[in-house]
Every structure is written in C-alpha cells, then in structure tokens.
C-alpha cells in the first residue's frame, strides 16, 4: 500500500460553526444526553440505540464537499434520526455554503419519546436561518423496504434524497425475519440491522448523491460481512473514511465506530481519503490519500492508522510465505459454554488465563475450570512443541495498538497432557490439527509479537476482534 505524495497535510475541520449554529447543536446534544441517561441500558441494547455526540455528528457532516450540493433543493434524509443531531448538523453544514439551497428533511424514528425534541430542534434551526424548511418525520424506515428495493423510491415521498445521514441501529437481524428475506431476494444477505439500513439508504439515494454513515469498524473485515462489502463496492464509491483510536466515542458503549462518506455511483474513485483522530473531541492528526484498489481488497478493507503502519504492511507483503504455505492452520477454540453436554472432563483455557507477555496465569475465576469435551475439542500436548493461541477479542486504544498476544500451549507451560480451548481463542496448529514443532512454535510466537505483524492486523481488523480470515492476511519470514 502506498500513500500519495503530500499525504500528511493539515486536516482540521474544513468548516467552522457560527455561534448560533453551535448553540443549536449544543441544545440537540443536551437532549441526546438526556435520553441516553434516561433510557435503561437493556432497552437501548434491545433497540440498538446509540446517540451520536455533536462533535462526531458535525465531523460527519463536514466530510461533504461544497461542490456536492449544486441544486436548488438539498433533500436530507435521516433514517433513525433520534433527536436530529445528524440531519441538523448536515443542514448547518449546507446552510454555510456561499449560496445555500432550500432545505427539505425526511426523518425516521420509532422511539416516540424523541418526537418532541426532534420538532423543537428543527424549529430552532428554522428560526435561526429565517427560512422555512420542509420537515417530515416518519416511523420505521424498514416498513417500505420492498418498495425501496424494487423501485428505489419511498411511497409518499415525492423526491429521492440527495444526502442521507445515518447512525443506524446496531442489532442483529433475525435470519427468518421478513426484512432479512426481502434483502436476500432483492439484494444481498446481511446479518445486522445497521447493514440493512445502509443498503436501503443507498437504494433510495439519488444517483450521484451522498451517503454519510456512522458504522461499526467490524464490517470492514471477515467473511461475515463479505457480501455486504461487495454490494457497497459495486453500488457506491467510498470517498472518505474517518477512524477513531478510542473506543469510548459513544456514551455507555464501546462500539468501535468509523465515519464513511459514499457517493452513489457504479464507479469507484481512484483514491480514498483516510483521516485518523484520537476521538470525536480531537481533530484528525493523520490524513492519507490512498489508492482505492489497495484499500478495498476482497478479504477486507485495509485501513492503516499511520505511515508507519503502511510501511510495515508493505514490508509484510514482500515476505515469501503465508500461514498456509508454512503448513500452519488457524482455527477458533471449539468449546462453547452453552453447548457443553458430553465427553471427558478436560481442563479449559480461557482468554483471561494468560497475560500480554504470554505467561499462563489461570486468572479466569468465574467460569468452570473443568468441562466435558469431545475428541475434536481436545488438544493433546506432546513432549516437545505444542500449539500457539491468541485472544480473539481484546481492546487496545493506543496509537500502536497491540492486537496479537500469543501464548505457547505446551505440556510444560500448562502442566497438563491435554487442553480444550474456549471459543474466544484462536489457535495455530499444523494443517491436520497436530502440534507445531518446538522451532515452529518459537518462530511463530516471535513473529506475532513484532510491530510488523501487529500493524498488519491493526490495518485489517481495527482494535477489537481478530478473525481467522484476518490472520490469513499475514505473510511470514
């Protein structure tokens, strides 16, 4: 991956709010905070409801180039609008251009508690701009999914939006639901409601229009969202992505979110702009212009955090071997606590049972230490050599976030003859599942601890989860 010349230029927010607009956003932010604090966590989780902080909302809006709004009307749609922070931020952004168009807004929100604040927020903006805004608020965005998928339009809305902003609900989509069935029939299967919202928004959007999203970083890699990524790549151009190093961007949520600007078109732009900031409260300190064909790969969207990460990635690509050509297989631990039923009692290793330096600590105190396991779940440990395991899920928010914490699983380190692994671990073995030799084990652990290996995984999968397919991207010395 190569960054273009002059990649490291100033990337402070391209537009600045006037005091009046800032006061309106602050008002909406206060209302969002109120509902965040006064919605039971269980209810928010059930609905996938996460309110967007105003700094993040305006950063998302500021990704819109002025040249994108060249008509007489800017029709903004906000699917899952909450108190209106995203659409009002976008309206404020559009209102600041030299010759602002008339504004029209179509919102969708199922939480009826928020309707009063939505209306009051828009009334404040309308008063400040001293211009009427055509505003309508509907309920469930997915109610017209079939019509959107087959015609690209929404019944009762007489024109397609040219700007859509979304922070969609983050919950799984039941495979047997009518919405999941519709998406399989007319587009692609998606496992999550946020992917469904994004797909429907893109179908509804005017050709050449802008789709601005806040999405979980996790869709950018792994097989689970491969069909969704392919649909996006085939139906839109990815223009600009903003990464945050912190996973504390949302109140009461550790969601690793990213901002993305799409243009609805069948051809991908040659370059993708990638900005990196510590959090929504800080301005980006890294700004890269990358070749899109090097970012949008089949296995993942590669999102480096720095020039150093790019250098490590380029060095890794020069290496001769893959895990497969080295005869090494990666698999996920086979033990799932809710499915234990038969077999012999075997000692279990969990992700809390070893530290960042690869020392076995047996720190997991809440889960059962001995459980029944069948043959396919058990790793027999040889006299010499063994297996290597890493944590599948971990969090590290530093600039050089370490993603790989390898541990040697040997008879000597574990003090047992056999072990079974919880499914929050990834394990390296020979292709047939047998143990690695002592030399293979040592060489693999040493490599997984390098800055190079961690930079590759950081670029592939962010700072939360490491999938088997992510590890397959590594090349070895």
For residue 276, what is the DSSP state? E
Distances in whole angstroms, Cα of residue 158 to Cα of each of 47, 151, 154, 203, 207: 29, 13, 8, 15, 15
31 CB-near residues (< 8 Å, 6+ apart): 83, 117, 121
Q: Cβ distance 39 to 71 under 8 Å?
A: no
Residue 340: count other Cβ atoms within 10 Å of its Cβ: 16
CA distance 288 to 297: 17
- CA–CA separation, 183 vs 189, rounded Å? 6
What CATH superfamily classification does 19-303 receive?
A: Vaccinia Virus protein VP39 (3.40.50.150)
91: closest CA among 106, 76, 73, 79? Answer: 76
Report residue 165 as tokens. Answer: 């902003």
Q: Is the CB of residue 350 less than 8 Å from the CB of residue 367?
A: yes
Q: pLDDT per position in the chain (477 positions), as tens?
A: 655 443 333 333 444 556 678 889 899 989 988 988 888 888 888 888 888 888 899 999 999 988 877 778 899 999 999 999 999 999 999 988 878 889 999 999 999 999 999 999 999 999 999 989 999 999 999 999 999 999 999 998 989 999 999 999 999 999 999 999 999 998 889 999 999 999 999 999 999 999 999 999 989 998 889 999 999 999 999 999 999 887 767 665 667 889 999 999 999 999 999 999 888 888 888 888 999 999 999 889 999 998 899 999 999 999 999 999 999 999 999 998 888 778 899 999 999 999 999 999 999 999 999 999 999 999 999 999 999 999 998 766 555 678 899 999 999 999 999 999 999 999 999 999 999 999 999 999 999 999 999 999 999 988 878 999 999 999 999
Q: Give me the residues paired with residue 77 across strands.
A: 106, 164
Q: In 34-177, which ranges are E strands?
A: 73-79, 102-108, 134-138, 163-166
Domain-by-domain residue ranges, the chain? 19-303, 328-476
Q: Does domain 328-476 have CATH number 2.60.120?
A: no
């Amino acid at each position: 991956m190569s960054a273009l010349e002059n990649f490291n230029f100033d990337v402070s927010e391209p537009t600045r709010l006037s005091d009046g607009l800032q006061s309106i956003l602050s008002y909406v932010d206060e209302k969002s905070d109120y509902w965040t604090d006064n919605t039971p966590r269980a209810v928010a989780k059930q609905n996938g409801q996460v309110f967007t902080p105003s700094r993040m909302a305006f950063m998302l809006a500021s990704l819109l180039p002025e040249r994108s709004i060249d008509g007489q009307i800017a029709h903004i749609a906000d699917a899952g609008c909450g108190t209106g922070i995203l659409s009002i931020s976008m309206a404020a952004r559009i209102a600041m251009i030299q010759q602002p168009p008339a504004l029209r807004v179509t919102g969708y929100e199922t939480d009826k508690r928020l309707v009063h604040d939505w209306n009051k927020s828009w009334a404040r903006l309308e008063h400040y701009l001293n211009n009427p805004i055509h505003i309508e608020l509907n309920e469930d965005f997915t109610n017209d999914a079939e019509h959107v998928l087959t015609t690209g339009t929404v019944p009762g809305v007489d024109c397609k939006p040219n700007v859509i902003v979304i922070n969609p609900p983050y919950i799984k989509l039941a495979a047997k639901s009518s919405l999941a069935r519709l998406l399989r029939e007319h587009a692609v299967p998606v496992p999550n409601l946020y992917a469904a919202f994004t797909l429907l928004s893109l179908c509804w959007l005017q050709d050449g229009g802008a789709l601005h999203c806040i999405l979980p970083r996790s869709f950018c890699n792994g097989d689970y969202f491969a069909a969704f990524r392919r649909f996006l790549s085939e139906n839109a151009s990815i223009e600009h992505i903003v990464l945050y190093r912190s996973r504390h961007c949302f109140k009461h949520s550790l969601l690793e979110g990213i901002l993305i600007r799409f243009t609805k078109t069948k051809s991908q732009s040659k370059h993708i702009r990638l900005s990196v900031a510590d959090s929504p409260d800080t301005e980006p300190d890294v700004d890269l212009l990358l070749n899109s064909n090097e970012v949008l790969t089949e296995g993942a969207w590669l999102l480096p955090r720095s020039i150093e990460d790019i250098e490590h990635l380029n060095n890794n690509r020069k290496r001769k071997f893959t895990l497969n050509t080295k005869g090494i297989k990666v698999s996920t631990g086979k033990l799932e606590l809710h499915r234990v039923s038969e077999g012999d009692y075997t000692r279990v290793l969990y992700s809390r049972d070893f530290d960042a330096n690869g020392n076995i600590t047996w720190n997991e105190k809440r889960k059962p230490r001995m459980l029944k396991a069948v043959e396919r779940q058990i790793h027999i440990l040889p006299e010499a050599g063994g297996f290597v395991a890493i944590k599948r899920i971990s969090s590290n928010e530093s600039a050089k976030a370490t993603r790989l914490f390898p541990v040697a699983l040997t008879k000597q380190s574990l003090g047992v003859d056999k072990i079974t692994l919880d499914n929050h671990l990834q394990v390296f073995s020979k292709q047939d599942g047998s143990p690695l030799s002592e030399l293979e084990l040592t060489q693999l652990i040493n490599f997984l601890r390098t800055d190079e290996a961690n930079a590759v995984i950081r670029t592939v999968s962010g700072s939360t989860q490491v999938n088997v397919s992510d590890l397959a991207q590594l090349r070895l010395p």
